[in-house]
Amino acid sequence: MDATLTLVVDGRPTTLTVDTRTTVLDALREHLDATSPKKGCDHGQCGSCTVLCNGRRVLACLSLAVAHDGDEITTAEGLAPEGERHAVQVAFLEADAYQCGYCTPGQICSAVGMLDEAAAGHPSAVSGDVAAPPTLDRTEIAERMSGNLCRCAAYVNIVTAIERVHAGETAR
């Protein structure tokens, strides 16, 4: 069964006709040549397909494209204007927050979404008092990023990169 839908990918509206079984991840990678979101597990367990959907971090592999008609999808490629880098991308470079790089676009999109959630005052599982405004320290960052696995285990520098962005040490 085919469906025709529009995805606004990195600011560009694109109308496409796909099988209803197509995930947002496959629509991006196989139909729209947006290959920065990666297919790791394809079952919602690794986070490498993380994109922003209408500004919030989600897993593209568990999202059916047909259910996202009209939605704005932002991949790591679309976080900053053409030719520029987002502060989180700069921080990942400066902190050496990756090794093989496969999980990195998902880590970066997840970090961007996570920083917005923290700025909005969302608590986490390690916030001592769930009713109090959270303080984004290394423990909080690690917990909030737990949905993104890195098999090279670059976690220490990923947390450092995000910590620097949060502290305003990296210009956006």
Partner 1 sequence: MKPFTYARPDDAAGAVDLVAGDPDAAFLAGGTNLVDHLKLGIASPTTLVDVTSLTSDRIDDLPPAHGDTDGGLRIGAAVRNSDLAAHGRVRAEYPVLAEALLQGASGQLRNMATTGGNLLQRTRCAYFGDRTTPCNKREPGSGCSAIGGWARYHAILGATHEPAGQACVATHPSDMAVAMAVLDAQVQVLGPDGERTIPLEEFHRLPGDDPTRDTVLRHGELITAVDLPAAPIATSSTYRKVRDRASYAFALVSVAAAMEVVDGPDGPVVADVRIALGGVAHTPWRATRAEDALRGGPATDEAFRAAAAAETAGARPIESAVGGNAFKVPLVAGTLAAALRTLAHDPSTDPTEEPG
Contact positions vs partner 1 (CB under 8 A): 1, 3, 19-21, 23, 42-44, 47, 50, 56-59, 62-64, 66-67, 110, 113-114, 117, 120-125, 127, 130-131, 142-148
Non-local CB neighbours of 134 within 8 Å, separated by 6+ positions: 118, 121, 122, 123, 124, 127, 140
Query: Rounded CA gap, 36 and 45, in Å?
Result: 18
Which lies closer to partner 1 via its Cβ, residue 130 or residue 171?
Answer: 130
Q: Tell me how far, at minimum, the Cβ of 66 lies from partner 1, in Å.
A: 5
What minimum distance in Å lies between the beta carbon of 113 and partner 1?
A: 7
> Closer CB to partner 1, residue 71 or residue 94?
71
Contacts of 105 (CB under 8 A, 6+ apart): 36, 37, 38, 48, 50, 75, 76, 77
Nearest-approach distance from CB 165 to partner 1, in angstroms: 16
Closest by Cα among 15, 1, 124 to 69: 15
Query: Which one, 10 or 140, has the nearer CB to partner 1?
Result: 140
Cβ neighbours of residue 113 closer than 8 Å, sequence gap 6 or more: 50, 52, 55, 56, 57
Q: How far is the CB of 83 from partner 1 (least distance, A)?
A: 28
21 or 138: CB nearest partner 1: 21
